[in-house]
Every structure is written in structure tokens, then in C-alpha cells.
Structure 1
């Protein structure tokens, strides 16, 4: 698997040549969950301007990157949209933005995603902090021979989702008047939605949420020493949890309906000194 080492070095060098500062936090927005935050320092720019391969479009993903400054001075590298393995990308392709952020010197990663709900008691609109993950994609961004300087060959994934950041997110959600759930996220390849049998299997395995992103990005981020927080929006019940068929438009609509809560929570988190 090609890890794009030379291209990452070039992207980092270009960022520095432009005189842009090191971001404090990288933020990745999931399907329908792009929100406006802070004052732009640079961008928005097409994500493709910073990647060594073409970006294929997915509804609900703007595929832009910008550098923002929040009140208080925190700088956020904001990826509006992500790329997915089901588009034909390798795991190393998928995590290029994460590695780019980490190699710039960014220490904290915050991501959002839209997920299917495996737990019947979590209706659409439930917001949860991911506490652990099941990588069921059959792939890993560390396969092959990533540079030794990036991190341990066999990185530890205990507390991959930082407990302190999860606790902070829960406090800030309560301050805003709602409860932030916690659960395990299962990552599958897609693009087909899960079958009812697969959702039953995931429930037995301990999953609370299921989606087509996130797991590779977390592996790459932890490999490079980043602290990680993932906020997952239950956009629809998993197949078989109800009798309703699943549609991507439903996912996007759930994101739009929850945008105010997501934006309020992200603003509270990103403005909190304890995030560092």
C-alpha cells in the first residue's frame, strides 16, 4: 500500500511556505454535518488542492479545507467532508488528510459522522461520543511499510478515543441542555447499507453505531500521537431495527435537523481551554 510519504512532505512544506501557522485542532465534518465556525485565516480551498489524487464527490460532503481562528485564538484546520473507502480509495488514501494535519504539528483530532443506530433505544437524532471502535472493513492504513518516524509499528489502541475529551464533551452537552450518549462505532466498507442480519451481528459484537468512515482515520491519528474525539449522530435506525427502508437523503436531513446542536457543542468544545 502506498503511504504517500513524499507527497505528505511536499504538502507540509507548501503549507509552511505560505506562512500558515500550525493548527491546534483538526476538525473533520461528516455527512450533512458541516457547520460554520470561527474566522477564516486561509481558505476555504478545494480539498483536492492538497491531495495527490482526485476527489470523488459524495452528496453532503463539500470536500473543502480551511484554517479558522476561534475566539480565544485557537486555530482549527477544518475539513468539510471526507473521502471513503467505498469510493475506491485505499485506507492510506482515506487518512491522507489526518496524516497531513498531524505532520503539520496538530495534536488533537475532532471528527463528526452520521451513523446508523444499532441500539433500538437510540432514535434518529441521538448524539453520541464514540468510546471505542470495531474495524470490520478488512483493511488498515498501517498495512505495508509506513515510515518508522510516524510511530510504533504496532500502536496501542487502548483509549483511542480520549477519555478526558469524552468527559469534556459530555459536560458541555449537559451545559447546552442535552445528554451526550457514549457508544461503540462499527466501521464497514459500504456503500450498501447493512442488512438486518448484519445489524443483529453488530449488536451481539457490542456495537451501538455503524457507519462507513472513521475507523481508519482513528488508527492513523493514534499512530501519529493525536488525541481523538468523535461525535456520532444517529441519522437513521440500522436495518431491521424498524421496518423503514434506508436512504442517504434521510441521513442528510438528519444532519440538517441536528446542525444547531452539533454546531453549539463543537463551538463550546473548540473554545474550551481544556481541549488541549
Structure 2
């Protein structure tokens, strides 16, 4: 145990040197990542994070494994989800983990030679460092990936919520222009939001334009039909416009009947009927 403490203190004494050497040799060629920043505050924070990393890693030689992993994991999550590292390509970050690991392995060699440590002890220390860095790499990439996926899901929800606006016209009439790809999740959002908006705005007649929708699958076509049925149930009349041949074909295959719903070729034709 004493030898482990000695190694801990030796490595901690080298922590500032490790950080300095790491930053000086850092590949700053990627303009999109945190490593290339010239902002003094960003650089200070990056060096601070690297130094904190050393403080955590060195504790593997003096702390119980569970305690060490718990604290280390919390720190890794904080780093994996900060803006700078989220903007930095993951392979760049992985490369830096590997470079710093090599720094540690070299210092262990120097420490061991100066003290004539037995080979089995050297191998154990090196194995410990390799395990710590493997854990760090895995947890960092996991947390960054999960956080990024969560952000994308949240952004997609916002896009879906904002991509099916019910636009007020006049005298209880409104327009719902649908644009882009409609998958099952977006179709469900459109169904829910449109019914709610029509109720809130007291819409009596809704013009739904599909000219900006190029393709839907059978499930989405079915949900569009459900939207029409839902609007009918809450007393909203509907006029459809811009139904493309692909959508019409899918509707026919599903047996969806639009015979009681006014349909026009273009939105302009549909809006021309507003005063009728």
C-alpha cells in the first residue's frame, strides 16, 4: 500500500507538467472542436479539466475501487456533456485519452526504475492505468452519445411541434400547410396539435395543404385519415389540397375514402372557396 501511495504522490507532483506537456503537444487543427479555441477562457478551462482528470486518475492508487469509480463517473459525465466537448469530434477526444494514457505509462516506468520496483508490481500499475483509461473512454463516449441523442430528440420534438402550425385566416377558417417528410411520430404530433389548436382557436373550417409532402407510408396515411375523422368529430369542416399521386395511391391501397371531403388540386383553388 505504501508503494501505491508513493506512486500517487509522484504522479500528482507531475500533474501540472502532464497538463502543460499535453496542451503544448495538442493537435489544434480541427476548427470545430474545443482544442482549437483561441479564447483564453476556453483554454484555461480546458487545462483545468485536464488537471482535474489527473487528480481523479491518480486516486485509483489510494481509494477503494467503488469510491473511485463513483466520483470518476460523475466527473466524466460533466465533461462529456459540456458544450466544448459536445462540439468536438469523438475520435479527436479518444485520441487525447490515448495520448494521456501513454504519458502515465511512461511516468510509471520512470518511477519504477528509480526505485527498482519488481516487474510484477510495474505490470500491475500499468494494468490499473490501462483499465482506468478504458473505463474513461467507454463511459465518456456512452454519456456523450446519450446526451447528444437526447438533445436531438428534444430538437425533433420542437421541430415537430412547430412544423404543423394551424394558421388563422378569417371568420373561423384556418390553414394547415404540411411540408416535408412525415413519419409516424410526426404524424401523431400533427394529429394531437391540430385538434387542440382547432379547439382553442374555434376553427370551423380547416384547409389542409399536402403539396409539400412527397411521400408517406401506410401508417402515416392512416393517421392523416384519423386526423380528418377527429376534425369531423369536433365539428371542423375540412378541405384538402395538393394531394400528390403517391399519397393518393397509398390512400386507395388502404381503402381510405375521401369522397365526403372537398379536394382541390392546389391551395390557391382551395382558398378561392373561402367566401362561398
TM-score, L = length of structure 1 = 0.28
Task: Compare the two structures and name the one with the higher strand fraction.
Answer: 1
User: Which of structures 1 and 2 has the larger relative contact order (alpha carbons within 8 angstroms, sep 6+)?
Assistant: 1
TM-score, L = length of structure 2 = 0.28
Task: Compare the two structures and name the one with the higher helix fraction.
Answer: 2
Q: Rg: which structure is higher?
A: 2
